[in-house]
């Protein structure tokens, strides 16, 4: 409609006046056309917004999405005023709708404001379609309220919900104090239950104040102990925790009943690879040496996991070790894994991970390395 109206208003700027090459006249006409079109689009958008409350539910959804899409993508004149009006309208309309529209991120950003808090809270309380993006949106416009909801979940013992909030809420001193005491209480008194959500919440929000209690819990556990608690200690204590971890790893490795190689991989993976990590990753020469030694593990899945971490965090000094492993593979592939894993497709899995470590490692890949790998592949094809 906006385009048609513009064409009716300025017929002289359309038709034969539009050329396939740039001229000063073409540019001048284009500016007039664009200005008129955007002005008409703004007027029609405001009229549509005013008409939305009178429409039926399905038409409301379509109309709201059209308005938000236009405001998100078109540089309309007086756009700020239109956005404020849209916020007021949408804030009143959404709570009254049986099935509000599922907004895209760009549509939400048009109306993101404290005025949307009642709608988001209503969605949360009714559990109707409330997802992580709604939690993120609530935290964006009302961070204190989102933190209060997370604290409420902790106090009610709903650690799954608390962890969900933890994916979007950032740590504060007050929140961390509550997590420290509440998480340690659960881990100490309900040790036989599945406390993975509690541990992950402690990993993100816990502080050094909980380290002593975490050490006591680990001391009561068998083998290496819980990897997430070790990840927490590495986060808050650094090298001190690392020294304890490595001593425990070496001691537990002597037991045939302890799968310490897989466990220490999980420790590093959990502290370094978490998508919502807000802390510095942890890596050291001592940990690197452990994972380099695991490249020769008879369990190719363990060896492949070690290669994965070395590719992500390993130093340039291990490059020749990785090359030696790949070259040795060609002559004599490692034996079948003692502990088969359904995610491992075949013996080439380890080779692929080591090559990936070479290609993805920090500061390792260059023209010489690519040529070396190409020659290796050609030799394999010719053998």
Question: What radius of gyration do the chain's Cα atoms show?
Answer: 30
Nearest to residue 364, comparing CAs of 311, 291, 298?
311
95: left (phi over 0), alpha (psi -120 to 50) or beta: alpha
The per-residue pLDDT for range 96-146, each reduced to its tens digit, is 888 888 889 999 999 999 999 998 998 888 765 568 889 999 999 999 999
- 260/272 Cα distance (integer angstroms): 18
Query: Quick one: the chain helix, strand, coil %, rounded to 5?
Result: 70, 0, 30
Q: What is the pLDDT of residue 345?
A: 46
Question: Stretch 347-366: mean pLDDT, rounded?
Answer: 73
- 186/245 Cα distance (integer angstroms): 23
Whole-model pTM: value is 0.81
Ranking 44-58, 181-195, 214-228, 331-345 by mean pLDDT, the lowest is 331-345
Are 78 and 42 contacting, i.e. CB atoms less than 8 angstroms apart? yes
Q: What is the pLDDT of residue 354?
A: 82
Are 8 and 37 contacting, i.e. CB atoms less than 8 angstroms apart? no
- 90/49 Cα distance (integer angstroms): 9
Nearest to residue 84, comparing CAs of 65, 103, 111?
111
Q: Angle at CA 279, nearest 5°, toward 277 and 281?
A: 90
DSSP state, 53? G
Q: Angle at CA 70, nearest 5°, toward 67 and 71?
A: 85
Q: What is the pLDDT of residue 342?
A: 45
The per-residue pLDDT for range 75-84, each reduced to its tens digit, is 999 999 999 9
Q: Angle at CA 348, nearest 5°, toward 342 and 353?
A: 85
For residue 381 the two structure tokens come to: 């094809």
Question: Stretch 346-365: mean pLDDT, rounded?
Answer: 72
Can you say how many angstroms the Cα of residue 206 is from the centroid of all Cα atoms in its chain?
20
What SS3 class is residue 213? Answer: helix
- 34/46 Cα distance (integer angstroms): 18
255: left (phi over 0), alpha (psi -120 to 50) or beta: beta
- Whether the CA torsion 12, 14, 20, 23 is positive or negative: it is positive
For residue 56 the two structure tokens come to: 């039926």
Question: Stretch 2-10: mean pLDDT, rounded?
Answer: 79
């Amino acid at each position: 409609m906006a385009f048609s109206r513009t064409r009716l208003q300025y017929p002289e700027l359309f038709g034969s006046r539009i050329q396939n090459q740039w001229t000063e006249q073409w540019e001048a006409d284009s500016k007039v056309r664009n200005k008129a079109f955007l002005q008409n689009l703004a007027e029609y958008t405001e009229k549509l917004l005013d008409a939305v409350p009178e429409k039926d539910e399905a038409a409301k959804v379509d109309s709201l999405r059209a308005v938000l899409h236009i405001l998100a993508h078109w540089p309309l004149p007086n756009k700020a005023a239109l956005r404020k009006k849209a916020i007021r309208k949408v804030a009143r309309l959404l709570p009254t709708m049986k099935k509000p529209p599922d907004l895209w991120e760009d549509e939400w950003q048009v109306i993101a404001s404290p005025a949307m808090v009642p709608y988001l809270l209503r969605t949360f309380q009714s559990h109707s379609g409330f997802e992580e993006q709604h939690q993120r949106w609530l935290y964006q416009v009302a961070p204190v309220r989102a933190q209060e909801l997370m604290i409420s979940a902790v106090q009610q013992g709903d650690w799954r919900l608390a962890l969900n909030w933890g994916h979007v809420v950032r740590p504060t001193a007050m929140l961390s104090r509550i997590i420290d005491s509440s998480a340690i209480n659960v881990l100490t008194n309900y040790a036989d239950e599945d406390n993975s959500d509690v541990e992950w919440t402690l990993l993100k929000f816990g502080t050094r104040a909980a380290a002593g209690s975490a050490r006591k819990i680990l001391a009561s556990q068998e083998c290496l102990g819980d990897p997430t608690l070790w990840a927490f200690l590495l986060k808050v204590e650094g090298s001190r925790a690392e020294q304890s971890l490595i001593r425990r790893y070496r001691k537990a490795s002597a037991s045939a009943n302890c799968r310490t190689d897989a466990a220490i991989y999980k420790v590093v993976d959990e502290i370094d690879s978490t998508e919502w990590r807000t802390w510095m990753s942890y890596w050291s020469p001592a940990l690197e040496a452990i994972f380099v030694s695991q490249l020769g593990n008879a369990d190719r899945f363990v060896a492949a996991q070690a290669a994965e971490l070395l590719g992500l965090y390993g130093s340039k000094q291990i490059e020749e070790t990785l090359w030696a492993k790949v070259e040795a593979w060609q002559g004599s592939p490692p034996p079948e894994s003692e502990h088969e894993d359904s995610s491992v497709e075949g013996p080439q899995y380890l080779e692929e991970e080591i090559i990936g470590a070479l290609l993805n490692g920090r500061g390792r890949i260059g023209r010489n390395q690519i040529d070396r790998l190409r020659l290796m592949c050609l030799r394999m094809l010719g053998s």
